[in-house]
Structure 1
Amino acid sequence: MKTVLITGANKSIGFEATRQLLAKGYYVYLGSRDLEKGNEAVATLKAEGLTNVEPLQIDVSNPESIAKAREVLGTKLTSLDVLINNAGILGGMNQTALATETDTVREVFATNFFGVIDVTRAFLDLLQKSDEPRIVNVTSGLGSLTLHSDPNWKYYAVKTVAYGPSKSALNAYTIVLAYELKDTAFKVNAVDPGYTKTDFNHHSGPGTIEDAAARVVKYATIGADGPTGGFFSDDNNPETGVSPW
């Protein structure tokens, strides 16, 4: 049975991705910053008959928490097949370049960018022991510099000085990581789940959580002939699913 770690999985897209992977026969470690919320999420899934899941406390912005999570997971398995770096924060609305404090930018980057690097490095040894390791970095269309430079883009006016740039940085990290692992069995991709109706955006998005999670799961479960080092978004390009950087 293949194993998965999903960060920020106690609610919204991460939770639904957990549900969909469980339905596909994966064993999922549901990462949650708050263990109580993680336990509640696991209880909900088990009540649905999805039993191959357990919580793992992990705060991706806290190196000590990441190290502890790695230690705990290391007592449960010898290899990890899939890492989904899903945890992320918005940093509030109205993130203007002139008024937003740099503390806000640092806080968002600590989770959305540096947290991904720290988690990936912490669990890389377990992933390297998998026959088909997969890493999915959950990004956003707001991380596309190409689209942000296009006045005709539907989200052109949605500019954020912390959140968007944190995802642009994440995309850049994905390219470097995929390149360094290109001669291995790893598949490393950045996936935009789309503008989805969640707590994250006060339920303003038009997309469903089910569809958003399915996009993430698709690249978490790709075969040996699947892509690596890509940026995929059905929201930005429904025809090909490939987003411009």
Structure 2
Amino acid sequence: MAVGVLALQGSFNEHIAVLKRLGVKGIEIRKAEQLQSVSSLIIPGGESTTMAKLAEFHNLFPALREFVKMGKPVWGTCAGLIFLADKAVGQKTGGQELIGGLNCTVHRNFFGSQIQSFETELAIPEVAAKEGGPPTFRAVFIRAPAILEVGPDVQILADVPASSVITESAESGQKVIVAVKQGNMLATAFHPELTADTRWHSYFLKMVPEFGGTSSMITTTGEGSSFYERPRIDLPVFQ
């Protein structure tokens, strides 16, 4: 029962570490044929343009698109969200290739540059209802994208008020969508793998058929640490 983690660039090691805490093996995926050995996939955060160039170099895009079309669970975090979107704006000159399948439009650098990275509390009613714990999740946004528009088949799992973050891309009173689910696809603009709260990972694992949709196969406690322990806050916090 292994979960594939695209390991071209970015925070793939952090995702694999969280999966290990949950008693699940993560397999680094760098070649198209390796996708045949897993039935679910995490596309981590990183530099989306660099990841796209590496994926193109290794001829991964056709296999990744087929993986999504087959209905296998896929979770994209930050750059992974951009990869899964049907449309992306705010890209560098020339754009980048996308996997697609997620019926939404993503703004690549919605929250600004690296120095505008931040942490904030997100209300997560759907995840909290299924995974327990607090009704909020402390999310880490690093040079993060955001979802501008979603189709009718997309479920919004989390958003933030535009007034709570520093960005020139948002309009007054606007809700900024930062987490969605559509069928076999989960996408988050933030980095759950950089926190001690593993609920997003266990939520994704329940989308994987071989895990039976139950939490009985998943361990949720780490050695000497609370399941919902919050990491030390290093980034600016906007309330």
Structure 2 length as normaliser, TM-score?
Answer: 0.38
Structure 1 length as normaliser, TM-score?
Answer: 0.37
By percentage of residues, which structure has more helix?
Answer: 1
